[in-house]
Amino acid sequence: MKRLSLKIKLTLLYTFFMVLATCAVLAILLSLSNREILAGAQSRLERRVQDSADDVTLEDGGLRVDSDFYSVTQDVYLSLYTEDMYFLYGRVPYGFDVQPEIADGRTRRIAEGNTDWYVYDMSFRLAEDYTVYLRGITSVTDAEASFGVTIRFAVILFPLMALVTAVIGYRFTRRTLLPVKQITRTVQKIRADADLSRRIGLKAPEGRERRNRDEIYGLASTFDDMLEELEEVFQREKQFTSDVSHELRTPISVILAQCSECLEDEGLTARQREQLLLIERKAKDMAGMISQLLFLSRADQGRQPLQKETVNVSELTLMTAEEQQLLADAEGRGVRISCDAGSDITACVDETLFIRLLVNLISNAVSYSRPNGKVTVSLSCADGEIKGTVRDNGIGISEEDLPHIWERFYRADASRQPGGHSGLGLSMVKWIAEAHGGSVEAESRLGEGSTFTFHMPAGEPEEKN
């Protein structure tokens, strides 16, 4: 199941507690007002009965009742009884068919059909030996009906209020979490482009002092400070690599120069010559590595220029393949390079870098080939894009290693590798392809061989923003 976003979770939580609080408040209010309504109806009934005692008098031995007695005021029906429950005068409400016992001075609640009634009896003496009972009746159900309107109103308003609460809660949460989204987006961009110069750069709302900013603004500015420091560290590291490579270049050149001078000496023993040749070979490997390191550190610092011009890439590919064949022949492992570079394909590329890319791919294919292995180089052009492929039937790369081969100094299995390999070649290949607005990918099966394919726009690539 898809996980709910923090925004939705907070909105649900917020709405849940709002609904809970509203329910509790409504329940208390409704129960209080219901009690209030019933108590009001009861006291109205009692007051009306007590006030009506003045409407009944004895005149010339006969009973005289004021006309007010008969009218239903404040929903109270009045009736008059003798002591032995004989009805004398008055009205009983329609539907009130029972004749409860007299209960002097006490209000009772009596249910009759679908209606509840309050009945209040009061005795009073009209003469020394003449006592009558005054009965007041009022409908509880009618009194409660007005309360029902309030409940209905609340039932309609309640979901509306919950909806409004949810909408406001959602908008509020979204606004609050907007900076988090911005932080995530910036970090994702930093990861995708490996560009540490990016900043989250959240602006505090106008007029807010730094100390008044909320936690998320604090987090964003801490992130920015951390990125600042990281960028500085990386910058220092790049500078260090570049400085060290520069410093090493001179002693290596001296070693190489001295080696070749010593090797010219005819008086060297075979053992001495062998040792000198080994020193020279290792120094050359080191010189190669230093030049690759310098290239990459210049590229990192944006100081590796691209001198693009329209060149015949078919010719360049063919020439590079032939040169690599000569080097392979010198190794004497019988590796054959076949090349199909199309005819006169032209592209706008940096010639030196394009050759460097090919040299790296072809020399790898040769190095990681088996004795008498076969390397196939091909180049084609379609839809304004050149596509180059270098295929070998060599040792191949395992599935676990394949995603990492583009990383600097990564070597799949150093123990199986020939000398002179630093693990920097493919990083350079990747940089060159991307700097030309293209890409490079690898397919491989361990023990069966590898295929490296690069694509580049044949014309001037569009400027990257």
By C-beta, is 310 or 352 nearer to ligand ADP? 352
368 is a contact residue toward ligand ADP (CB under 6 A): yes
Q: Using the rule CB under 6 A, is 333 a contact of ligand ADP? A: no
Q: Which is nearer to ligand ADP, 423 or 438 (CB)?
A: 423
Binding track, positions 4-43, relative to ligand ADP; x by CB under 6 A: ----------------------------------------
User: Which residue number, 313 or 335, has a Cβ lying nearer to ligand ADP?
Assistant: 335
Minimal distance, residue 163 CB to ligand ADP, in Å: 60
Nearer to ligand ADP, 42 or 422 (CB): 422
> How many residues sit close enough to ligand ADP to count as binding (CB under 6 A)?
21
- Among 45, 316, 345, 365, interactor with ligand ADP by CB under 6 A: 365
Smallest distance, ligand ADP to C-beta of residue 463, A:
28
In a 3-state reduction of DSSP, which class is residue 294?
A: helix
Which residue in this structure is represented by tokens 């490997």? Answer: 285
- CB nearer to ligand ADP: give 386 or 397: 397
Least separation in angstroms between CB 385 and ligand ADP = 23
- Judged by CB under 6 A, the residue of 179, 388, 425, 438 near ligand ADP is 425
For 92-168, list the strands marked E by DSSP: 107-112, 115-127, 130-139
DSSP, res 73 = B
CB of 227 to ligand ADP, least distance (A): 29
Which of the residues 431 through 460 are near ligand ADP (CB under 6 A)? 450
What are the CA-CA distances from residue 236 to residues 150, 193, 241, 297 (Å)? 74, 20, 9, 11
Q: Rule CB under 6 A: is residue 373 a binding residue for ligand ADP?
A: no
* 412-to-328, 402, 418, 423 alpha-carbon distances in Å: 22, 8, 12, 9
Q: Are 82 and 133 in contact (CB under 8 A)?
A: yes
Q: What are phi and psi of 356, to 5 degrees?
A: -60, -45
CA distance readout (Å), 432 to 88, 357, 381, 422, 463: 116, 7, 18, 18, 15
| DSSP SS3 for 78 | strand
Site residues (CB under 6 A) for ligand ADP, limited to 395-414: 395-397, 405, 410-412
As a 3-state breakdown, the chain gives helix, strand, coil percent values, each rounded to 5, of 50, 20, 25
Among 249, 308, 421, 455, which residue sits at the site for ligand ADP (rule: CB under 6 A)? 421
**Among 261, 259, 263, residue whose Cα is nearest residue 287:** 259
State the minimum distance, in angstroms, from the CB of residue 400 to ligand ADP: 12
Q: Is 55 exposed, middle or buried (0-12, 13-18, 19+ CB in 10 A)?
A: middle
Q: Which one among 314, 394, 456, 458 touches ligand ADP, defined by CB under 6 A?
A: 394
CB of 212 to ligand ADP, least distance (A): 52
> Which pairs count as long-range contacts for 318-324, CB under 8 Å and 24+ apart, including other chains?
320/355, 320/358, 320/359, 320/362, 321/358, 321/362, 321/377, 323/359, 324/359, 324/362, 324/363, 324/366
> Are residues 11 and 169 in contact, defined by beta-carbon separation less than 8 angstroms?
yes
**Binding segment toward ligand ADP, per CB under 6 A, in 67-75, 169-177, 241-249, 361-369:** 361-369
Contact status: 198 vs ligand ADP (CB under 6 A): no
Contact with ligand ADP (CB under 6 A) among 426, 433, 440, 458:
426
Q: Does 374 bind ligand ADP (CB under 6 A)?
A: no
Is the Cβ of residue 173 or residue 245 nearer to ligand ADP in the bound state?
245
Q: What's the CA gap between 10 and 30, in Å, rounded?
A: 30
Is there binding between residue 357 and ligand ADP (CB under 6 A)? no
The number of residues making up the chain comes to: 465
Tell the smallest beta-carbon distance from residue 360 to ligand ADP (Å). Answer: 6
- Cβ contact 376:389 at 8 Å: yes
| Interface region with ligand ADP, contact rule CB under 6 A, candidates 29-37, 107-115, 376-384, 417-425 | 417-425
User: At 162, which amino acid appears?
Assistant: A
Nearer to ligand ADP, 346 or 422 (CB): 422
Does position 370 interact with ligand ADP (CB under 6 A)? The reply is no
The SS3 assignment for 101 reads: coil
Provide the angle, in degrees to the nearest 10, between the axes of the packed helices 215-263 and 140-193: 20
Contact residue for ligand ADP among 364, 376, 388, 430 (CB under 6 A): 364
Work out whether 325 is an interface residue with ligand ADP (CB under 6 A).
Answer: no
Query: CA 345, 348, 352: angle at the middle one, nearest 5?
Result: 95
Q: Which residues bind ligand ADP (CB under 6 A)?
A: 360, 364-365, 368, 392, 394-397, 405, 410-412, 417, 421-426, 450
